[in-house]
Structure 1
Amino acid sequence: MQVLLALITGLVVGFLFALLKLPIPAPPALAGIMGIVGIYLGFRLFEWVQHFF
């Protein structure tokens, strides 16, 4: 449910930023978005590995 709410919130915010002709508050390219995903996955991986040591 949280993922769906986050997606809806992002869509609304993105729409409003475009409507008001403001710069998008997110990485403008797929590489930037993948960097954010990588940071999150690295954090989760550390937490997972930490349980074994």
Structure 2
Amino acid sequence: MKEVILSLVTGMVVGCLFTLFRLPIPAPPALAGIAGIVGVYLGMRLFQWLALFWK
């Protein structure tokens, strides 16, 4: 849980700095992009879970 909170805080600081310097944000600006990132993570976890049965 500590990693999640640190990641969220770091992301917020980076978002503020990019906005302050008027740079484009380094993340997908749309919900579909965020869903894609979550999908990649879930796919990795699913593969790891399925790999347990292949051993």
TM-score (norm 2): 0.94
SS in 2 for 1:4: helix
SS in 2 for 1:51: helix
Deviations 1:1-53 (A, max 9, x none): 00000000000000000010000100010000000000000000000000011
- Greater length-normalized contact order (CA 8 Å, ≥ 6 residues apart): 1
Q: Calculate the aligned-residue CA RMSD, in Å.
A: 0.4
Quick one: percent identity of the two aligned structures? Answer: 66
1:28 aligned onto 2:23? no
Ranges of 4+ aligned residues in structure 1 off by more than 3 Å: none
TM-score (norm 1): 0.97
Aligned residues: 53
Q: Which runs of 5+ in 2 are unaligned?
A: none
